[in-house]
Amino acid sequence: MGIIETDRLTKIYVRDVIDTEFGKLRIRFTDRKTVALKDLSLDIRQGEIFGLLGPNGAGKTTTIKILMGIHYATSGTARLMGKPLGDRSVKSRIGFLPENPYFYDYLTGWEFLDFYGQLYGMPKKARRAKIEALLEQVGLSHAANRPLRGYSKGMVQRVGLAQSLMNDPEIVFLDEPQSGLDPLGRKEVRDIILSLRDQGKTVFFSSHILSDAEMICDRVGILFKGELRSVGRLGELLNQSTGEWEFVVRGVDEVAMEHWRGRLARLSQVEGDYWAVCKEEALTQEIIRDVVGKGGMLLSLTPRRESLEDYFIREVQGRRS
Ligand SMILES: Nc1ncnc2c1ncn2[C@@H]1O[C@H](COP(=O)(O)OP(=O)(O)OP(=O)(O)O)[C@@H](O)[C@H]1O
Ligand SMILES: [Mg+2]
């Protein structure tokens, strides 16, 4: 049994359009329905890092909001830790970082986390220790006593992440945890997520940043227009071999290398080294033999594996209309 289970979750948002006319009120019932989620069935195992990926409007936030009890599903069911949604005993054991968090910004980082600790009923001493550890972990110790209104976007995201971990949750839901963060901040978030897994926690997050997801996810689900297009381990989803080869050579005569340009998929020069992509194995060998024979050195040769980004584009492209 999964720690997070959804069974044919469906969400249809309905908006009534109210038209007012001068002097009289006219209510127009138009059929403004958005099917944000269609029959989503997922089974997340304990201790897993699961990435829910998809383009804008795919239904990622909707999924997380339903799981958090912020929105109700139109149909279908879900269970967290084996209990139906809304179970109070579960709420205290999960953490949540919303998308684009907006917090009461007159509080300092410390006061903000202390407030959450109090909501969870943590004693003062435990709160203090936890806040210190979390601020350190998210790189905000220096800003503990500054009000949140003076925080940058990335700092708000970091303090939000700390907030989601205040109660030492067993499952952490993170909606775009890396948004607004610089590369260093993204690496820190990745490390935090990995350390959560080491502690046996389950992490369910949504992301647009595919390279980050690729580095940490045990499994990913690709959502497109509310439908789960695929779900699985990256190793299963991604083509292990694209048939392309990538190599880097050093000390090669420019004329010798340029000779091959027309037959290579890509060729660029980086500080004197040549980086090339070739679509055929035999041709790759021929080129390497040639340039090495002319005094060049082979620095690396690797078969090109499909990246999550390649896969994502393959799945989603052409389906936008
Ligand atoms: N409160 C709402 N009322 C009406 N429609 C909504 C509401 N919230 C979301 N939607 C619609 O539901 C669909 C899914 O939105 P959702 O926010 O879940 O997508 P997302 O995958 O999180 O996108 P993003 O990557 O931009 O955050 C979109 O078409 C969106 O316009
Ligand atoms: Mg979203």
Closest-approaching ligand to the CA atom of 65 = 1
49 Cα–ligand 2 center, Å: 18
**CA dist., res. 63 & res. 204, Å (int):** 11
* pLDDT confidence of residue 253: 84
- State whether the beta carbon of 36 lies less than 6 angstroms from ligand 1: yes
- Does residue 18 carry a pLDDT above 90? no
* 17-21, 261-265, 311-315, range with the lowest pLDDT: 17-21
CA–CA gap between residue 321 and residue 307 (Å, rounded): 24
Report the separation in Å between the CA atom of 244 and the middle of ligand 2, taken as the mean of its atom positions. Answer: 35
**Cα separations in angstroms, 20 against 15, 23, 244:** 16, 9, 61
CA 20 to ligand 1 centroid distance, Å? 26
How far is it, in rounded angstroms, from Cα 107 to Cα 109? 6
Q: Which residues pair with 32 in a beta bridge?
A: 15
Counting ligand 1 atoms within 8 A of each CB, the residue from 16, 32, 34, 178 with the most, and so the one to mutate, is: 34
Residue 132 structure tokens: 């210190």
Most confident of 89-103, 164-178, 210-224: 164-178
CA 238 from centre of chain: 17
Backbone angles phi, psi at 271, to 5 degrees: 45, 50
CA distance 37 to 74: 9
pLDDT tens digits, residue range 19-78? 556 566 665 656 678 899 999 999 999 999 999 998 889 999 999 999 999 999 999 999
Q: Give the domain ranges of the chain.
A: 4-93+169-237, 245-303
The finding on whether 177 has its CB within 6 A of some atom of ligand 1 is: no
Q: What percent of the chain has pLDDT over 90?
A: 64
What does the pLDDT look like over 113-122, one tens digit per residue?
Answer: 999 999 999 9
Q: What are phi and psi of 307, to 5 degrees?
A: -90, 165
Number of Cβ within 10 Å of residue 215's Cβ equals 15
The structural architecture, per CATH, of the domain 245-303 is 2-Layer Sandwich (3.30)
Pocket test of ligand 1: the residue of 15, 32, 60, 70 to mutate, having most ligand atoms within 8 Å of its CB, is: 60
54 lines ligand 1 (CB under 6 A): yes
CB contact at 8 A, 82 and 171? no
Mean pLDDT across the chain, nearest whole number? 89
Q: Which residue has the higher pLDDT, 86 or 20?
A: 86
Query: Could you tell me if the CB of 37 is within 6 A of ligand 1?
Result: no
Q: Is the CB of 47 under 6 A from ligand 1?
A: no
Does the domain made of 4-93+169-237 have the CATH classification 3.40.50.300?
yes
The domains spanning 4-93+169-237 and 245-303 adopt the same CATH topology: no
From the CA of 65, give the closest atom in ligand 1. Answer: 18
80: left (phi over 0), alpha (psi -120 to 50) or beta: beta
Q: Is the CB of 157 under 6 A from ligand 1?
A: no
What's the confidence (pLDDT) of residue 321? 45
| Atom in ligand 1 nearest the alpha carbon of residue 63 | 18
Instruction: With cut-offs at 50, 70 and 90, classify the pLDDT of residue 301.
Output: very high
Minimal-distance CA residue to ligand 1 atom 1: 13
Instruction: Kindly report, residue by residue over 179-193, the tens digit of the pLDDT.
Output: 888 888 888 889 899
Residue 290: pLDDT band by 50, 70, 90 thresholds?
Answer: very high
Residues for the chain: how many in total?
321
The three-state (H, E, C) secondary structure of the chain, written as one string: CCCEEEEEEEEEEEEEEEEEECCEEEEEEEEEEEEEEEEEEEEECCCCEEEEECCCCCCHHHHHHHHCCCCCCCEEEEEECCEECCCHHHHCCEEEECCCCCCCCCCEHHHHHHHHHHHCCCCHHHHHHHHHHHHHHCCCHHHCCCEHHHCCHHHHHHHHHHHHHCCCCCEEEEECCCCCCCHHHHHHHHHHHHHHHHCCCEEEEEECCHHHHHHHCCEEEEEECCEEEEEEEHHHHCCCCCCCEEEEEECCCHHHHHCCHHHCCEEEEECCEEEEEECCHHHHHHHHHHHHHCCCEEEEEEECCCCHHHHHHHHHCCCCC
Q: In the prediction, which pLDDT does 289 show?
A: 94
Residue written as tokens 């048939």? 243
User: Is 57's C-beta closer than 6 angstroms to any atom of ligand 1?
Assistant: yes
Q: What is the pLDDT of residue 181?
A: 87
Q: Which of 38, 85, 29, 31 is nearest to 59 (CA)?
A: 38
pLDDT at 24: 63
Q: Can you give the pTM of this predicted structure?
A: 0.84
